Amino acid sequence: MNGPRDKRTARLIRVDGSGNGDFKKIQQAIDSVPSQNNELVFIWVKPGTYREKIVVPEDKPYITISGSKASDTIITWNQGRDLLQSPVVSIFASDFVGRFLTIKNTFGTSGIAVALRVSADRAAFYGCRIISFQDTLLDDSGRHYFNNCYIEGATDFICGNAASLYERCHLHSTSDRGGAMTAQHRNTAEENTGFVFLGGKITGSGSMFLGRPWGDFSKVVFGYTYMSNVVEPEGWNDWGDPTKQRTVSYGEYKCYGPGANRAKRVVWSRSLSTDEATKLFTKDIIGGRAWLRPAPSHFKTH
């Protein structure tokens, strides 16, 4: 599949819960896109709260789902306990874009409850709010870009084995004590995956760790990030398995704020060199120049 020839023009589908659009439900709009879709599709969601589980299937690439602002365009569901069954929104199609949406799992504090699962290559999210308690964002597989997003949770709330760049994102911990913000799942040194956080800020209540290793070769780095005093002085946790200390890649570069002091950091985390930072803190790590695309400038309704 070579993709759309015209990358500026999208087919417009309007979703309005009050009935003034093409569909009342977001899933109905997705279902209307033909299998093996090969044109840009822009699903414009009018303000409202949409209580539905959403799946973008693998055979429907090039879809954008966009609100006007995240605070008034809310997709919500209440399901937990199962990592793969609980997500409010699941993305399986490549070349997906989410814009200005709140995606919220209201299951609460009694276990796994995923808000967003991204299991596809080349997915980008702009100005979204992604909210739950445990495993909020299953950043599962593929190359992904998150820009100016708000992500909230208490335990392993960004987890998975994608290769992702988080630029200017706000991470907010609701952990009382010792929760981990990230649980990256890289299993071998050969895998080109990991979470890179560039700019942005970390806030919260209680205390939390920057990450712990779901996979033996877990890889997470923070650069130029504001860290409030919610970050534990040790910074990182080995999930009760000291053998992983030898294989994880946890690094920080020119972070600031009361939680960024590395004086008491675990010795198996690192301050990145300028050379390392120059290579990591760029869209090149996700091949972004080849697939990140601007919002369409022209629309057609048929």
Tokens of 238: 């080995």
- Averaged over 209-226, what is the pLDDT? 97
Write down the pLDDT at residue 206.
87
**Is 135 a residue of the active site?**
yes
- Coil, strand or helix: which one is 180? strand
Whether residue 302 is predicted with pLDDT greater than 80 in this model: the reply is no
Write down the pLDDT at residue 2.
67
- Whether the Cβ atoms of residue 88 and residue 103 lie closer than 8 Å to each other: yes
- Averaged over 10-39, what is the pLDDT? 97
Mode of pairing for the β-strands spanning 129-131 and 102-105: parallel
- Which member of 95, 135, 140, 238 is catalytic? 135
- Averaged over 9-22, what is the pLDDT? 97
For the entire predicted model, the pTM comes to: 0.97
User: In which band, very low, low, confident or very high, does the pLDDT at 192 lie, cut at 50, 70 and 90?
Assistant: very high
Write down the pLDDT at residue 60.
98
| Tens-digit pLDDT profile for residues 151-167 | 999 999 999 999 999 99
Kindly write down the DSSP assignment for every residue of 111-174, as one continuous string.
SB--SEEEESSSEEEES-EEE-SBS-EEEEESEEEEES-EEEESBS-EEES-EEEEES-EEEE-
- Whether the Cβ atoms of residue 172 and residue 195 lie closer than 8 Å to each other: no
Can you list the domains of the chain with their CATH numbers?
142-295 (2.160.20.10)
Whether residue 149 is predicted with pLDDT greater than 60 in this model: the reply is yes
- Which member of 95, 121, 140, 156 is catalytic? 156
Residue position matching structure tokens 């570069």: 253
Among 43-47, 61-65, 126-130, 283-287, the least confident range? 283-287
- Coil, strand or helix: which one is 179? strand
Write down the pLDDT at residue 45.
98
